[in-house]
């Protein structure tokens, strides 16, 4: 499947996730009426993945103040996710998180979101690319970011994007690229 673009409805998903120390079923429907930062990462027990997952988890309250929730997805099993959360951070684990770790063991979610590596010649074959989707409260994709696996994502930029989209929605204005430091800099009337 092709990568879904901004302004399109987010592909529906339903899967098992690790929340705290429990396995629970989560779906896109659970986030209806809220913004969702849905981010994909290649593998559990790797180097870059825990640094950004912990950083996003630490920003949960900041995002919730914006009406946004977080969910992380990889193609690892729910059992591997649980094992990773049980391992202390100082030993390469995640420890307790403030968001679900979704198991895409069937690879359907990664495929539907266009981030599954299926080239058998690629060492990441069978894994998701490092991707981030910002989905608004109506279930519409507002932003898509896909990185090579070597570089993680930035929590502050994700927060800024959500603030900018919310500002634009509320005020009918746009946020130019120069408005990097403050949403107050967004003051250009939207066309149309």
Which is it for strands 173-174 and 141-147: parallel, antiparallel or unpaired?
Answer: unpaired
Between vectors from CA 103 to CA 102 and to CA 107, what angle results, nearest 5°? 120
**C-alpha radius of gyration, the chain, whole number:** 17
Residue whose token pair is 């993680």: 152
Tokens representing 115 are 């981030």
CA distance 4 to 79: 29
Taking alpha carbons only, the member of 118, 103, 122, 121 closest to residue 41 is: 103
Residue 114 gets the label, from left (phi > 0), alpha (psi -120 to 50) or beta, of left
* 75 included as an active-site residue: no
Please state, as a whole number, how many other Cβ atoms lie within 10 Å of the Cβ of residue 26. 20
Residues involved in catalysis: 49
């Amino acid at each position: 499947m092709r990568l879904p673009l901004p302004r399109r409805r987010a592909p529906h998903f339903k899967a098992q996730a690790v929340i705290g120390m429990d396995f629970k079923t989560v779906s896109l429907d659970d986030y209806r009426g809220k913004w969702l930062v849905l981010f994909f990462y290649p593998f559990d027990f790797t180097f870059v993945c825990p640094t950004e997952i912990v950083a996003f988890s630490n920003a949960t309250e900041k995002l919730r103040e914006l009406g946004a929730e977080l969910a992380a997805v990889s193609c690892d099993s729910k059992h591997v996710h649980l094992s990773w959360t049980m391992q202390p951070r100082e030993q390469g684990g995640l420890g307790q998180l403030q968001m679900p770790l979704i198991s895409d063991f069937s690879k359907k979610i990664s495929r539907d979101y266009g981030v599954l590596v299926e080239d058998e010649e690629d060492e990441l074959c069978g894994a998701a690319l490092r991707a981030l989707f910002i989905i608004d409260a109506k279930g519409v994709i507002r932003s898509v970011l896909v990185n090579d696996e070597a570089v993680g994502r930035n929590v502050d930029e994700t927060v800024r994007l959500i603030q900018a989209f919310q500002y634009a929605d509320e005020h009918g204005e746009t946020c130019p690229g120069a408005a990097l430091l403050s949403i107050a800099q967004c003051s250009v009337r939207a066309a149309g």
